Structures are given as C-alpha cells and as structure tokens.
Homo-oligomer: A and B are copies of this chain.
Amino acid sequence: MNPETEISSDDKVRLPFLMVQDELRQVEATLRDQVRAFDPGVEPYISYICDTAGKRIRPALAALVGGATGGVTKDHLLLGTILELIHMATLVHDDIIDGAATRRQVPTANAKWGEGTAVLLGDALFSHALMLSTEFDDLTLSREIAKASREVCQGEILQTQRRFDLTLTQADYFHIIEMKTGALFAAATDLSAYLSGVPNDVRTALREFGMQLGTAYQIYDDCLDLVGTEEEFGKTLRTDLEKGKLTLPMLYLLEDASDSQRDKLLKRIIDQEALDLPVLVGIADYEGAIDRSLDYSRGLLDQAKLGLSNLAPSDYRDALSGILSYTRGLIGSLRA
C-alpha cells in the first residue's frame, strides 16, 4: 500500500492529535500560566512567542506515551509543557541565526524586536523551562531535560561550525540532526515512559521511537527547505544552501556525482558562484537525491513503528502510530 494514500483523509491525519485534544488544551493552559510567571514587562513578548510558535508535537508525544503506558498524568503534561518551552527557545534563537523574518505566517521575534531582545527572550524561556523542571521533585528528570537542552544547542553549534564544509559526512549529518532535533523528541517519549515507571526495555524502545521520529521529521524539514513553497508553509525557505548548510539531499547528490559534476557543485555550493537555487534543486530532484532522502526518512518511520510493538494495544498506541502516518503524510505532500 502506498503510505501516502493510507493517510489521505484529513481525519486520519488529525487523529493522533484529536486523541490528546483535552491534554493539549491543558498544556496550552499551563503555558498561559507560565507566561504569567514572567516579569510584567517581559510577559507580552513571551505571550507572543507562545501564541505563534510550535505545533505542540512534543507535548502531544509526552501525553500519548503517558496514555499508552498507564494513563496521562499531570506530570506527563508538565513534561510536555517544559519541552515545548525549550523548543520555543530554540526556535527563537534559530530564527536569529537564520535571519528568518517569518514563522507560521507571522513576524519572528528578531524581525519584530531586533536580535538582542530575541537572544534574551530565548534565554528567559530556557531558564524558565529548566526552573519548571524542578517541580517534578525528581532530579533525574531535571538532569535529563537539561541534558536534552544541551544536546540541542550542541547540535546547532556543530551545524553552524560545519557550514560550507565539504568534508561533512552523512554520519556527521545524522549526528547533528539527532542532537538538534532527535534529542527533544526522544526526551518527550523517554521521560514520559520514565514517569509511567515502565520496564527499561519499553522505555528504551520508546526513546528510540522518539529519536527516529525526530530524525525523520528533520530530514523532511531539510527537504522542505529545498522544495517547499513559502506561501504554503508560512516560513522563510531556501536558506540552507545560501548559508552553506549541507543537508541530506545535497550529501546524496555529492556522493553520486562524477568528478566534473562534483566540481560544478563545489563552485555553486561552496563558492556560491552562479548559485541559482531552482536550478540546483532541479538537479537534485532529477538525480533522485530528494526522493532518496525522503525514502530514508520513511525508513526511519518504519523502524520507529517497531518501537511501539511491545506496548499493550490501546487507542494511545494507535495514535502514536498515527503520528508516524502523519509524518509520512507530510513527506508525501512534498511530492504531491
């Protein structure tokens, strides 16, 4: 069966999120409460960011794993809220680094208030999230959350450091995206399972599920940067190559290139000579590098599905599986 047709109806795509609709509403309410914990002079900025950033995938994962491992508790929702705050902080800082002007159809924090304020807003969100993590009264959770947050930052640093670096291997690329995106997804599923007190093998499998889903999602997002449309996705695209960020399709293209093709790619990507992005994307598409990346992403989703096999059957388990289908749907939409 074609995986894209599997989720063709809108209902099926929305299903995993509908499953935890009430829980996500509670996460939203907790986020609002957290906004009010900031200094009155800072609150409006934080509020704007909360209103405009994020699909709440991490809180949804935390809630669904909670449901699938014994029941969603307040702690699962708190975990989701904290991870979402960290995610928002990284988005705010990413937008500075990428010089992005728009996210989800609205101006980014840096576009609205300048880079300086955006740096500090990200910092305040980070600190607040880590402060909130102490409310579990469990140091393991505080430690693992801070660690995941550090992984995200380190992944981003490595990515920034390796721009315009043609020695970047596919292994380097995966190391980077596992840190920068996988870590927070994995924290959502892993720590949610930890909160439920499941056996270690179930926890490990769920951690892997999060890591593979996050990695698959990042590959999709990297392809989106090349072939997506700004109108449809409401964010600044086509920035990776200009910034020298080599993502999986380009690594595949370079791998398959003949010496003379490689020279041409070098001139375009590294020296940015005649960097005509539509042409470069057209070549990557023609050579199959984009489909190959999307296939790799789909493969990760297949592996992730295996991680759900030792969970007892439940609507929540089905919804976790539904998130995989949802991501497949996103991948499919790129090639529609």
Contact = CB atoms under 8 A, between A and B. Distances in A.
Contacts of A147: 127, 131
Contact of A115 (B38, B96, B114, B134): B96
Interface string A36-59: 001101100100000000000000
Contact of A160 (B96, B116, B179): B116
**Chief secondary structure at chain A's binding surface:** helix
Q: How large is the interface on A (under 10, 10 to 19, 20 to 34, 35 or more residues)?
A: 35 or more
A45 B121 contact: no
A9 to B, nearest CB: 40
A123 interface: yes
A39 B149 CA distance: 14
Given A126-B127, A137-B139, A146-B131, A154 B119 contact: no
Given A139-B137, A146-B131, A158 B42 contact: yes
A161 B130 CA distance: 24
A134 B127 contact: no
Interface of A: 38-39, 41-42, 45, 89-90, 93, 96-97, 114-117, 119-124, 126-128, 130-131, 133-135, 137, 139, 142-143, 146-147, 149-150, 152-154, 156-158, 160-161, 179
